[in-house]
Amino acid sequence: MFTKKIIFTLLRNGNVTRTILCSNYNVYCERQRNVHISIQRKFHLHQFNKVEAKLAGNQKPDWNRAVSEAEKIVGYPTSFLSLRWLLSDEIANVALHLRKLVGSNHPLLKTAKSVIYNGRNNMQAWGLIVLLISKAAGHLGVDDMEEDKAVGVLHSQRALAEVTEMIRTSHLVHKGLVNIEPDVYLETSELNDMNFGNKIALLSGDYLLANSCAELANLRNQDIVELMSSAVRDLAEAEFVGRRDNQNNPLPSVPPDDRKDYAVKEWTLRNVLSAGALLGKSCKGTLKLAGHSNEIQEQGYNFGKHLALAWQACLDLSPFITKDQNVTFNLCSAPIMFHIEHDPSILIEIDKGLESVNNIDYVKIHKIVMMGPGVELTKQLQKRHSQRAMEVLSVFEKSDARTALCNIIAAMGDF
């Protein structure tokens, strides 16, 4: 009887009932639609990653081949170390003076070698990355006269790519300055070499930095100038993070008692400031020049940041996956930071370098790290940042530039 009464009431108030039922049904449909969209996005991202991985994996990933093919896409090698720079009187004079340092132990020689070295640590590829993300994103509402029709990027974007390389190279050259302490260089010839090398490093770095400022000013874009100036500030700030020896070589910080996330936090802070910020802000700036929205510009920053961190993790791994154990390495590299988190006793060996890292037994530290989880955790770190950089690329339409960036990311993970 009670059931019949309820049915009769519902029938009598049919409009109200229909409204309630339709409202609930609409809510249900909206929820299902959101779930479907979420699943669909994940599926598309998964498919994108599979396709790009297949494109990048048609042959064994090779860094030099990936960079060479990418350079063809943007027209020609992007580095400011092009003929118009190499044939300038200023660079020619620096090269002549640099020859006088051959045979000495000045760090400037190592920096000069890394500039032209054909490998993963080739800093000339930074400008290439900026131009590839420029071409992958395209440009909106820009004067046709601004575009380099042959390759589909703007002249201002190419100038910004050169600025990026100049800033990075000038910073590394300046880092090659030697702190000449009393009674360290007893021989007059060695002391003269160090002093001369310091002068060349200082003048070369200042020359590159001054030219980067001039190029930025020619863009006549205050936002870009402010953005890239903040990147230079970040590079300088990176030199004051953590402990240092007397030559300003970095040493790991003493971890807190719980050591929770110590390695990732410390490593990320150092490398975002020293690398990720510059590449990220350069990618953000090039998308600003192309007229993209703030949201897309932030995606560009995230891509550059994660790519730089993946790149650094790859460089950190190199000394620990080579057969040669007699190579020196960065004591704040990811494998060591992870090992400190796992077993802080390694700091006993590292702290021998508080005065100079030359007092450290690198072979012994290498063996200790190889017995711990540091190398494997660094591979996972590199993979995470590579994956995040790849996810950002899914925002842009499929193109040869996007594929080239995927190939470069894939080549970095070739261990």
* For the chain, percent of residues with pLDDT exceeding 70: 72
**142 pLDDT tier (thresholds 50, 70, 90):** confident
Co-location of 11 and 69 in the same domain = no
Of the two residues 411 and 117, the one the predictor is more confident about is 411
Q: What's residue 55's pLDDT?
A: 45
Q: Which of 86, 160, 101, 175 is nearest to 126 (CA)?
A: 160
φ, ψ dihedrals at 251, nearest 5°: -130, 145
Last residue of a domain, one of 34, 56, 78: 56
Q: What's residue 175's pLDDT?
A: 86
Q: Which of 112, 135, 282 is nearest to 208 (CA)?
A: 112
φ, ψ dihedrals at 153, nearest 5°: -125, 160
For residue range 69-106, list pLDDT tens digits in order. 888 888 765 555 454 555 566 666 666 666 666 666 67
Q: What's residue 3's pLDDT?
A: 42
Instruction: Determine if residue 178 is left, alpha or beta; phi over 0 gives left, psi from -120 to 50 gives alpha, anything else beta.
Output: beta
Co-location of 121 and 16 in the same domain = no
Dig out the tokens for 138 from the structure.
Answer: 């395209």
Q: What's residue 191's pLDDT?
A: 78
Co-location of 73 and 4 in the same domain = no
Co-location of 349 and 328 in the same domain = yes
Q: What is the mean pLDDT of residues 2-18?
A: 45
The number of folded domains in the chain is 2
From CA 147, how far away is CA 265, in angstroms rounded? 41
Q: What is the mean pLDDT of residues 335-359?
A: 92
Dig out the tokens for 356 from the structure.
Answer: 């100079």
Dig out the tokens for 133 from the structure.
Answer: 């993300």
Co-location of 139 and 286 in the same domain = yes
Q: Are 253 and 266 in contact (CB under 8 A)?
A: yes
Helix axes of 294-321 and 334-342: crossing angle, nearest 10 degrees: 80
Co-location of 39 and 17 in the same domain = yes
Q: What's residue 302's pLDDT?
A: 96
Co-location of 51 and 180 in the same domain = no
Q: What's residue 99's pLDDT?
A: 66
Q: Are 55 and 403 in contact (CB under 8 A)?
A: yes
Q: What's residue 364's pLDDT?
A: 92
Question: Which distant-in-sequence residues (6+ apart) come within 8 Å of 142 by Cβ?
Answer: 154, 290, 291
For residue range 383-392, list pLDDT tens digits in order. 999 999 999 9
Q: Which of 205, 260, 268 is nearest to 242 (CA)?
A: 268
Co-location of 25 and 80 in the same domain = no
Q: Is the pLDDT of residue 289 over 90?
A: yes
Strands (DSSP E) along 111-232, which ranges? 147-148, 153-154
Q: What's residue 25's pLDDT?
A: 44
Co-location of 210 and 339 in the same domain = yes
Last residue of a domain, one of 56, 74, 92: 56
Within 10 Å of residue 407's Cβ, how many Cβ atoms? 24
Q: Which domain range does residue 339 map to?
A: 57-412
Q: Is the pLDDT of residue 248 over 80?
A: yes
For residue range 22-81, list pLDDT tens digits in order. 444 454 445 555 544 444 444 444 444 444 444 444 455 577 788 778 888 887 655 554
From CA 372, how far away is CA 328, in angstroms rounded? 19
Q: Is the pLDDT of residue 112 over 80?
A: no
From CA 208, how far away is CA 118, in angstroms rounded? 21
Mean pLDDT for the chain overall: 79
Q: Which of 309, 305, 356 is nearest to 333 (CA)?
A: 309
Of the two residues 270 and 85, the one the predictor is more confident about is 270
* For the chain, percent of residues with pLDDT exceeding 90: 39
pTM of the model: 0.79
Co-location of 114 and 71 in the same domain = yes
For residue range 163-200, list pLDDT tens digits in order. 998 898 889 888 888 888 766 665 777 778 888 888 88
Within 10 Å of residue 91's Cβ, how many Cβ atoms? 17
Q: Are 161 and 133 in contact (CB under 8 A)?
A: no
Q: Which of 156, 143, 153, 149 is nearest to 285 (CA)?
A: 156
Q: What is the mean pLDDT of residues 271-279?
A: 94
Query: Could you tell me how far CA 14 lies from the centroid of its own chain?
Result: 64
Of the two residues 36 and 216, the one the predictor is more confident about is 216
Least confident window among 15-29, 80-94, 195-209, 308-322: 15-29
Co-location of 357 and 374 in the same domain = yes
Q: What's residue 41's pLDDT?
A: 46
Q: Is the pLDDT of residue 113 over 70?
A: no
Co-location of 41 and 132 in the same domain = no
